[in-house]
């Protein structure tokens, strides 16, 4: 099963890379223009219209899953790299590891707290950073984030 997943991951990466090239865009544009120009020849028949509609629908449907797979793997890799940087950087706060599991509202609140801490000076900044740390700890406890942190720490040690 792992081999199948790996084959699909490689396939999804290749298709994602291939479909993002300018030449592919212009080839698709050319096909669309060619389809439009052949309309009068086929009398704008329902078969002529269905050909483009069905082809575009099928390609779009498949590309959603292929691109989502590639995006998901890229995001996971970036998060893992960021977690590793946090773990190995002096001065970085380890409690930020795994915050990607928080819901959107928690992330927005955390962003606001960090902005306030960045704008503060001296003691106020320290107090704001403590508030951020408390918020992260509470939010992560609700999300089961402690297990994620431990897992990240283990993978960084390996």
Locate 145 and state its tokens. 């984030």
Q: Report residue 61: phi and psi, to 5°.
A: -60, -45
Checking 1-8 for CB contacts under 8 A at 24+ apart, the result is 8/69
Task: Give the pLDDT confidence score for residue 36 in this predicted structure.
Answer: 93
pLDDT band at 126 (very low <50, low <70, confident <90, very high): confident
55-59, 88-92, 141-145: range with lowest mean pLDDT: 141-145
42 secondary structure, DSSP code: T
pLDDT over 90 (residue 62): yes
128 contact partners, CB below 8 Å, separation of at least 6 = 113, 116, 117, 120
Give me the pLDDT at residue 42, please: 92
Average pLDDT of the chain, as a whole number: 85
Q: How confident is the model at residue 6 (pLDDT cuts 50, 70, 90)?
A: confident
Is 86 in contact with 149 (CB distance < 8 Å)? Answer: no
Instruction: Report pTM.
Output: 0.63
């Amino acid at each position: 099963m792992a081999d199948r997943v790996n084959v699909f991951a490689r396939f999804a990466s290749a298709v994602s890379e291939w479909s993002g090239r300018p030449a592919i865009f212009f080839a698709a544009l050319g096909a669309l223009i060619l389809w439009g120009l052949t309309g009068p020849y086929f009398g704008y028949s329902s078969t002529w219209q269905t050909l483009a509609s069905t082809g575009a629908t099928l390609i779009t449907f498949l590309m959603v899953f292929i691109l989502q797979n590639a995006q998901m793997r890229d995001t996971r890799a970036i998060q893992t790299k960021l977690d590793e940087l946090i773990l190995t950087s002096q001065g970085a706060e380890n409690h930020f590891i795994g915050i990607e599991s928080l819901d959107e509202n928690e992330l927005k609140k955390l962003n606001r707290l960090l902005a306030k801490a960045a704008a503060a000076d001296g003691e106020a900044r320290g107090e704001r950073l403590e508030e951020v740390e408390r918020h992260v700890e509470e939010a992560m406890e609700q999300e089961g984030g402690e297990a994620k942190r431990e897992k990240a720490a283990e993978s960084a040690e390996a």
